[in-house]
């Protein structure tokens, strides 16, 4: 199965939690149907990206990166690469690379979708749009983060004390992540 086919499968199977997310899923699926290269950075005017919000094992803290190019606190994530077999694998790879944490556990379905403009091709090129499929990852107990070159800073924040100026999409992702981790804990047989 191609990465694009996996993205279509994952989004089609995903139970979008709100009407705006249902609309976003429909728009993402339409874009994927119309663009054979939608998974790659070169696709214009938009392309699919994968990100993951990293939570500590107790889901009390969130790891955010102050992105060098964007100049804001964000979840980990980025462009899909040819070696990514699934959209979830792309999100996990990005989270591992940008957090330095080995053994992250990715929840098995997307948390939410976000569409945002970004300059990812350089200053001379026009802005493009990321169709970001956002996942949640849990850090293993005792793990230590390590900042990547893409980041100016990497820091744990209390889920109720996010940094000033963090945008609404990150706040919405944190809320979804807390709901999903609560569901995951309630559905475990040992809970």
> How confident is the model at residue 120, as a pLDDT?
64
**Phi-psi category of 71—alpha, beta or left, where left has phi over 0 and alpha has psi -120 to 50?**
left
Angle subtended at Cα 74 by Cα 70 and Cα 77, rounded to the nearest 5 degrees: 90
Question: How far, in Å, CA of 132 to CA of 51, rounded?
Answer: 7
Q: How many CA atoms lie within 13 A of 183 on its CB side?
A: 11
Beta-carbon neighbour count of residue 140 at 10 Å? Answer: 12
Q: Is 35 exposed, middle or buried (0-12, 13-18, 19+ CB in 10 A)?
A: middle
In sequence order, what are the beta bridge partners of 117? 129
Q: Consecutive 10-residue runs of the chain (191 residues): their mean pLDDT?
A: 96 96 98 98 95 97 90 94 97 96 95 87 71 97 89 93 93 95 62 44
> How confident is the model at residue 191, as a pLDDT?
44
Local structure of 51: helix, strand or coil: strand
> How confident is the model at residue 69, as a pLDDT?
78
Question: How far, in Å, CA of 30 to CA of 48, rounded?
Answer: 12
Do the Cβ atoms of 152 and 69 come closer than 8 Å? no
> How confident is the model at residue 63, as a pLDDT?
97
Domain boundaries, given as residue ranges, for the chain: 3-187
CATH of domain 3-187: 3.90.79.10
Which residues are within 8 A (CB) of 111 and not within 5 positions of it... i.e. 6 or more apart? Answer: 53, 134, 135, 136, 173, 176, 177, 180
> How confident is the model at residue 190, as a pLDDT?
53
119's tokens = 């300059």
191's tokens = 């809970």
> How confident is the model at residue 185, as a pLDDT?
57
């Amino acid at each position: 199965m191609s990465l694009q086919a996996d993205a279509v499968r994952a989004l089609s199977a995903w139970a979008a939690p709100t009407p705006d997310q249902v609309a976003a899923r429909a728009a993402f699926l339409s874009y994927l149907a119309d663009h054979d290269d939608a998974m790659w950075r070169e696709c214009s005017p938009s392309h699919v990206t994968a990100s993951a919000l990293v939570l500590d094992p107790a889901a009390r803290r969130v790891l955010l990166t102050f992105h060098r190019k964007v100049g804001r606190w964000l979840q980990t994530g980025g462009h899909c690469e040819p070696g990514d077999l699934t959209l979830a694998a792309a999100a996990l790879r990005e989270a591992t690379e940008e957090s330095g944490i080995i053994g992250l556990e990715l929840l098995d379905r997307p948390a939410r979708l976000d569409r945002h403009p970004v300059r990812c091709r350089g200053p001379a090129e026009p802005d493009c749009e990321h169709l970001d499929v956002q996942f949640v990852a849990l850090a293993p107990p005792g793990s230590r983060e390590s900042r990547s070159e893409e980041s100016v800073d990497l820091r744990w924040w209390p889920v109720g004390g996010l940094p000033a100026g963090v945008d609404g999409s990150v706040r919405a992702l944190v809320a979804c992540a807390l709901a999903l981790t609560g569901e995951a804990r309630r559905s475990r047989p040992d809970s």
